[in-house]
Each structure stands twice: as structure tokens, then as C-alpha cells.
């Protein structure tokens, strides 16, 4: 990958030294929440029995299932969704001969979402993968209760059990109890891996494999990334990125906009927002993660970015090669006046837009970092995962924040449970 910080900030040796110290804290397990750093070694788990089972079941689902409904919220679905949309496009479900359609439920409380997906899968051979580390999160638990009953009514209890797969804690939680009682196949979310860092466990890997994604390649890219981003050299992009964003934060840039190209990166931006928002937003501080699709959102948010409050920094994330070439045709009449673009590709046009944005925003007082990954493939997905996970932990440790807890999300749950009568 390449990282360009020039129009954002000139880093001082002190900024980099702080990032290096934070990285050492992560590596030596001496920081807050160090009992949740198992994600750093997940890429080395491809020889395990669990990984073999994920590959085997993923292949079966890819070959035999008509649809897979993934039930989970937050870290228990965003990684899988972002991987599938990035590698298989957001239109995966409309493509024939590409494995099962993949739907996501339990990521909110909305009857219509459930009803619509149930209508879409009606009469087909669909499977359910319910994912919850705690096994007690209300949103997925409610969706699963409905889906389980639906499957049992249609197939009978025994056959329904063969269509349900649980990804949860190895021993604790209501979901594990239920899975054991009903005899569902189970995959484990390790104790030392928190939800938003769990994409390289069965949480992300099983839905990916079911969609036909080569998860060995994902793990290889992640392994290469972990190695590169754990190096304490000044050229380490994760150190440069973390040092830059925290230095900018200290000058009053409180919001980071993750700017990306095209629909296929939309869910990846959502994954990034969860990873950084839940990790860094603590003790009344932290960078607020936002996102902007280039160029769609320039026609909505663009005005604010250019001339609104100067509290923004931006990271433009793009690929060197998109792998999809489309040449702009010449038109003999040229009534739309676009022949000046004829012969160029859409990638050429996007590059011009991205460079235009970079200059305009930087000139307007929004520091811009540019992160360029090679191409949107399996290997790079793993590599990008490693990049953002390491950067997030390093950035958090630079501010003495525990990157692995989320005490703030309990507040709404308490109120909701009280209103629903849980504590009566
Ligand atoms: O990062 C996290 O820990 C959270 O986003 C969780 O993944 C999310 O709240 C879902 O939790 P669970 O997997 O326990 O249902």
C-alpha cells in the first residue's frame, strides 16, 4: 500500500515516536484490554480444525444452499457484509450461479426487514447463521427466535436444526445453551477476540466462504499485513496513519471522513466506522468516524466539507487497480459535449475526481491523507483488515484509551430492557 500525508500534516519525530510506543504497548500486551488482543494472531489459525470446518461448511453452503441468512449486529455481521460487498459486489444476490443469496438480519429492530427477507427466501432451501459472542444481544436474538420458529414450522425440528449454524462463545450465553439443547452446529468466537475485531474468525469467515470467497487468501493477506504493521520502522503505514490522525485530532480536527469509491466499499466504510467509533470514543473524547462516497456524497456533503466547520480531516481510500475497465466511448454527434473524455477510462475519470477533491479539500482547510491499496481482492481485504485493526489499536493507545471495551453501549440497553419489562 501507499500512504500520502503531504497535504495533511508534516509529522514531527515526536509524533512517530508516540505511535511507535503505542505499537510496543500493543505488541507486549501491556496496555488496557490486552486480554483482547487475540485478533493479532488470527491469521495464523488456518491449520486449525475450526478453520477446516469453516472451509468445509462454507463449500457445502456455496454448492447446495439457495440462501444464507446471517443474523448478527455490530461486530457480529459488519465484517462479513463488507467483505461480501467488496469482493462480490453489493449486487451479489441478483447474480445467478454465484452461490447462495446472502441476507443480513438482526442488525436492528424492524419487522419489515424480517418479513421482506422471509418473503424473498420463501420456498427455497435456506440456512441461518446466527452470530452473537455474548449470546444475549436482543436484536439478533429476536430475529433468530422468529427465523427458528419459521424453519421448524416448515421443516420440523430435526431438519430445522440441520439448517441452523451458531457462531458464539465456546461455553457461555443463552445462544450456546440453546444451540447445545437443539444440537446446532457451532463455531467459536475466541475469548480473547472482541466483536469488532472478529472478522477473521468464523464470524466473518463462514459467511465469506459460503459466498465463494477464498478465505485462505484473505488470511494470507492479513498475515502479511500484521507482519508489516507490527514493524517499528518509520515507514510503517499504520504508524504514519495513526500518528497523523492523532496529531490532527490534537489540533482540533475531531471528525475523520473515510472517503471511498463506489457502492462496493460502502459496507467496508461502515465496518471502519464501527471499529474506530467503538474503540476510540471514550472518556468524552476521540475522533468521530464518518464516511463519504466519492463522488456521490460530494453532491450532498461536499458543501459542508469544503466550507463548513473546520473540524474535519479526511482519508481518501482507493485502489491502484480496480480490475474493471470501462472506456468512455466517442460519440460522433457529441451533443452532450463529452468527447473530451472519449478514450479515457472510468478509472481515469475517478482519479481526476479524487485528485481534484484532495486539492480542493486541502485548500479549504481539511487535511487530506490518501491511502492507496493495490486492488479489491481477497488478499487485499485481509491486508486492509490488518491495517485498520492495528491502526485503531495504536491510535487508541496513543490517547491512553482501552481500544477493546465498549462500556457506553450498555446505557441504551438498560433503558430499553426496563421499558420492555425485563427487570420486572
Ligand atoms: O464490537 C463489539 O463488541 C460489538 O459491536 C458487538 O460485536 C455487538 O454489540 C454484538 O455483540 P454480540 O456478538 O455479543 O451479540
Q: What is the pLDDT of residues 61-94, one digit of tens each?
A: 999 999 999 999 999 999 999 999 999 999 999 9
Percentage, residues of the chain above pLDDT 70? 100
Q: How many angstroms does the Cα of residue 404 sit away from the middle of ligand 1?
A: 11
Lowest pLDDT segment from 6-10, 257-261, 268-272? 6-10
Q: Please determine, for residue 415, whether its predicted confidence score (pLDDT) is greater than 90.
A: no
Candidate of 33, 38, 71, 74 to mutate for ligand 1, largest count of ligand atoms within 8 Å of Cβ = 74
**Shortest-distance Cα residue to atom 9 of ligand 1:** 74
pLDDT at residue 363, rounded to an integer: 94
Mean pLDDT for the stretch of residues 190-217: 98
Q: Please determine, for residue 185, whether its predicted confidence score (pLDDT) is greater than 80.
A: yes
pLDDT at residue 183, rounded to an integer: 97
Q: How many angstroms does the Cα of residue 153 sit away from the middle of ligand 1?
A: 29
The H-or-E segment that residue 187 falls in is strand 185-188
Which of ligand 1's atoms lies nearest the C-alpha of 189?
13
Mean pLDDT for the stretch of residues 125-148: 96
Exactly one of 49, 233, 283, 299 is catalytic; which is it? Answer: 299
pLDDT at residue 8, rounded to an integer: 80
Mean pLDDT for the stretch of residues 140-147: 97
**Predicted confidence band at 422 (pLDDT cuts at 50, 70, 90)?**
confident
Q: Please determine, for residue 288, whether its predicted confidence score (pLDDT) is greater than 80.
A: yes
Task: Quote the mean pLDDT of the chain.
Answer: 96
Q: How many angstroms does the Cα of residue 278 sit away from the middle of ligand 1?
A: 10
- Note if 361 is an active site residue: no
Count CB atoms within 10 A of the CB of residue 371: 23
Q: How many angstroms does the Cα of residue 133 sit away from the middle of ligand 1?
A: 7
In whole angstroms, how far apart are CA 133 and each of 69, 161, 245? Answer: 17, 20, 31
pLDDT at residue 393, rounded to an integer: 98
Q: Which three cell numbers stand for residue 304?
A: 459542508
- Note if 370 is an active site residue: no
Nearest to 211 by CA among 49, 322, 63: 63
pLDDT at residue 126, rounded to an integer: 98
Q: Please name every residue paired with 165 in a beta bridge, in sequence order, or none if there are none.
A: 129, 185
pLDDT at residue 3, rounded to an integer: 96
pLDDT at residue 170, rounded to an integer: 95
Which of ligand 1's atoms lies nearest the C-alpha of 74?
5
Please tell me the total number of residues recorded for the chain in this structure.
424
Which of ligand 1's atoms lies nearest the C-alpha of 278?
1
What CA–CA distance (Å, rounded) separates 214 from 325? 23
**Shortest-distance Cα residue to atom 3 of ligand 1:** 195
pLDDT at residue 231, rounded to an integer: 97
Exactly one of 139, 228, 256, 278 is catalytic; which is it? Answer: 278
Which of ligand 1's atoms lies nearest the C-alpha of 196?
1
The H-or-E segment that residue 413 falls in is helix 410-420
In whole angstroms, how far apart are CA 410 and each of 82, 124, 406, 421? Answer: 25, 38, 8, 16
Which of ligand 1's atoms lies nearest the C-alpha of 194?
3
The pTM assigned to this predicted structure is 0.97
**Shortest-distance Cα residue to atom 15 of ligand 1:** 132
Q: How many angstroms does the Cα of residue 354 sit away from the middle of ligand 1?
A: 34
Q: Please determine, for residue 375, whether its predicted confidence score (pLDDT) is greater than 80.
A: yes
What CA–CA distance (Å, rounded) separates 305 from 150? 47
| pLDDT tens string 301-360 | 999 999 999 999 999 999 999 999 999 999 999 999 999 999 999 999 999 999 999 999
pLDDT at residue 122, rounded to an integer: 96
Ligand 1 pocket by Cβ (under 6 Å): 73-76, 132-134, 137, 140, 194-196, 278, 406
With the CA atoms of 313, 319, 320 and 321 taken in that order, what torsion angle do they form, in degrees rounded to the nearest 10?
Answer: -160
pLDDT at residue 46, rounded to an integer: 97
| pLDDT tens string 16-63 | 999 999 999 999 999 999 999 999 999 999 999 999 999 999 999 999
pLDDT at residue 2, rounded to an integer: 97
pLDDT at residue 318, rounded to an integer: 96
Q: How many angstroms does the Cα of residue 20 sit away from the middle of ligand 1?
A: 29
The strand pair at 67-71 and 126-132 is best described as: parallel
pLDDT at residue 413, rounded to an integer: 84
Q: Please determine, for residue 297, whether its predicted confidence score (pLDDT) is greater than 80.
A: yes
Q: Which three cell numbers stand for residue 72?
A: 448478527
Exactly one of 170, 413, 414, 422 is catalytic; which is it? Answer: 413
**Predicted confidence band at 418 (pLDDT cuts at 50, 70, 90)?**
confident
Which sign, positive or negative, has the C-alpha torsion 363, 366, 367, 372?
negative
Q: How many angstroms does the Cα of residue 137 sit away from the middle of ligand 1?
A: 8
| pLDDT tens string 404-414 | 999 888 888 88
Sheet holding 255-261, edge to edge: 2-4, 368-373, 312-319, 255-261, 288-294
In whole angstroms, how far apart are CA 29 and each of 24, 199, 381? Answer: 8, 21, 26
Q: Please determine, for residue 424, whether its predicted confidence score (pLDDT) is greater than 80.
A: no
3-state secondary structure of 206: helix
SS3 content of the chain, % helix, strand, coil (to 5): 55, 15, 30
Amino acid at each position: 500500500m501507499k500512504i500520502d500525508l503531504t497535504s495533511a500534516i508534516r509529522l514531527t519525530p515526536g509524533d512517530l515516536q508516540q505511535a511507535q510506543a503505542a505499537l510496543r504497548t500493543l505488541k507486549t500486551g501491556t496496555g488496557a484490554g490486552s486480554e483482547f488482543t487475540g485478533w493479532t494472531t488470527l491469521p495464523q489459525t488456518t491449520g486449525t480444525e475450526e478453520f477446516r470446518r469453516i472451509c468445509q461448511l462454507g463449500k457445502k453452503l456455496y454448492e447446495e444452499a439457495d440462501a444464507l441468512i446471517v443474523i448478527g449486529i455490530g461486530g457480529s455481521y459488519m465484517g462479513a457484509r463488507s467483505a461480501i460487498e467488496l469482493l462480490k459486489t453489493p449486487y451479489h444476490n441478483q447474480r445467478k450461479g454465484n452461490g447462495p443469496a446472502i441476507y443480513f438480519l438482526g442488525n436492528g429492530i424492524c419487522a419489515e426487514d424480517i418479513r421482506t427477507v422471509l418473503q424473498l427466501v420463501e420456498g427455497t432451501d435456506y440456512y441461518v447463521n446466527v452470530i452473537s459472542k455474548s449470546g444475549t444481544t436482543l436484536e439478533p436474538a429476536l430475529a433468530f427466535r422468529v427465523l427458528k420458529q419459521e424453519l421448524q414450522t416448515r421443516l420440523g425440528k430435526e431438519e430445522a436444526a440441520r439448517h441452523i449454524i451458531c457462531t458464539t462463545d465456546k461455553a457461555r450465553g443463552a445462544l450456546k445453551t440453546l444451540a447445545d439443547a437443539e444440537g446446532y452446529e457451532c463455531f467459536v468466537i475466541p475469548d480473547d477476540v472482541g466483536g469488532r475485531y472478529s472478522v477473521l474468525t468464523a464470524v466473518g469467515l463462514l459467511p465469506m466462504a459460503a459466498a465463494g470467497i477464498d478465505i485462505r487468501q484473505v488470511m494470507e493477506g492479513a498475515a502479511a499485513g500484521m507482519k508489516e504493521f507490527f514493524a517499528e520502522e518509520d515507514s510503517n503505514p499504520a504508524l504514519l496513519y495513526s500518528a497523523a490522525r492523532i496529531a490532527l485530532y490534537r489540533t482540533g480536527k475531531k471528525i475523520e471522513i473515510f472517503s471511498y469509491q463506489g457502492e462496493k466499499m460502502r459496507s467496508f466504510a461502515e465496518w471502519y466506522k464501527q471499529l474506530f467509533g467503538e474503540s476510540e470514543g471514550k472518556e468524552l473524547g476521540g475522533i468521530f468516524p464518518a464516511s463519504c462516497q466519492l463522488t456521490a456524497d460530494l453532491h450532498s456533503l461536499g458543501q459542508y466539507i469544503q466550507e463548513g466547520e473546520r473540524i474535519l480531516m479526511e482519508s481518501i481510500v482507493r485502489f491502484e487497480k480496480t480490475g474493471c475497465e470501462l472506456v468512455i466511448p466517442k460519440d460522433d454527434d457529441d451533443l452532450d459535449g463529452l468527447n473530451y473524455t472519449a478514450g479515457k477510462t472510468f478509472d481515469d475519470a475517478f482519479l481526476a475526481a479524487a485528485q481534484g477533491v484532495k486539492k480542493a479539500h486541502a485548500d479549504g482547510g481539511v487535511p487530506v491523507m490518501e491511502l492507496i491499496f493495490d486492488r479489491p481482492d481477497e488478499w487485499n481485504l485481509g491486508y486492509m483488515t490488518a491495517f485498520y485493526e492495528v491502526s485503531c489499536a495504536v491510535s487508541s493507545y496513543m490517547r491512553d484509551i482501552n481500544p477493546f471495551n465498549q462500556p457506553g453501549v450498555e446505557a441504551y440497553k438498560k433503558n430499553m430492557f426496563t421499558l420492555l419489562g425485563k427487570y420486572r
